[in-house]
Amino acid sequence: MGREDPAHEANLAWSEEGVPFAPDYDDVYYSRSGLEQGDLVFVQGSDLPARLGRGEAVTILETGLGLGVNLLAAVRALAEVGAGTLSHASIELHPLPPATMNEVHRRLGRGDEATEAFLIAYPELLEEGEAALRLGDHVVPMRLVIGDGAAALREFDLRADAVFLDGFAPARNPGLWSPEVYAELARLARPGATLATYTAAGAVRAGLDRAGFEVERREGFGLKRHRLVGWRRADG
């Protein structure tokens, strides 16, 4: 990350509720209602436990690796189900330095084996753009492109089975909620791939629909009235 590069390290603070906060975007990294958002909105919203239980190999594509909270929720689902396989690909414009990532997770206090496995693999993921998270018998390959929205997604050549859209609030983070980003997600998602996000903003729904995703509103998590789930249409 050179000086001219718009990518820069995360500027991380803490909200009054003890939730990691990005002053540059005036938003929290996950719901003020709790860390469970990762499981309820993204893992359950993508039906991952059932899919893993059927022995599926699921590649997750996530906009905004952030703290790895959603990735960890998926890895815990894999460990609980004990079947199927996972891989994870994500983009991030403001990566956390490893020391900050460690500190954040110490402070969040989960400290389970999945967290430890992620913290061990994270420096290599950051350096090399790929690393494996090893938890018991499970090996979860991870890829990371450090860069901005659609341009970062263009670096990937993969078939995603589950898309996690987790930018900061759309109005404050347009670089992750643009027609160009949706078009890249549609390019990378296989027909039938699922999509999950915490927001139900009208512009997001319309943009995803235009890009080739069928989207539906579901009851939201915590303070949010609604969220979206969806899937990639076969016909573009």
Ligand X SMILES: C[S@@+](CC[C@H](N)C(=O)[O-])C[C@H]1O[C@@H](n2cnc3c(N)ncnc32)[C@H](O)[C@@H]1O
Residues at the site binding ligand X, with contacts judged by CB under 6 A: 10, 29, 38, 62, 64, 66-70, 91-94, 148-149, 152, 166-168, 173, 175-176
Query: Do residues 142 and 71 lie in contact, with contact meaning Cβ atoms separated by under 8 Å?
Result: yes
Query: Do residues 174 and 121 lie in contact, with contact meaning Cβ atoms separated by under 8 Å?
Result: no
CA dist 52 and 85 (Å) reads: 7
Q: Which is nearer to ligand X, 11 or 83 (CB)?
A: 11
- C-beta of 97: minimal distance to ligand X in Å? 13
Query: Do residues 73 and 39 lie in contact, with contact meaning Cβ atoms separated by under 8 Å?
Result: yes
- C-beta of 55: minimal distance to ligand X in Å? 25
Query: Do residues 188 and 158 lie in contact, with contact meaning Cβ atoms separated by under 8 Å?
Result: yes
Q: Which is nearer to ligand X, 54 or 122 (CB)?
A: 122
Give the H or E element holding residue 217: strand 213-219
Q: Which is nearer to ligand X, 93 or 131 (CB)?
A: 93
- C-beta of 25: minimal distance to ligand X in Å? 7
- C-beta of 62: minimal distance to ligand X in Å? 6
CA-wise closest residue to 173 among 8, 40, 27:
27
Q: Which is nearer to ligand X, 45 or 66 (CB)?
A: 66
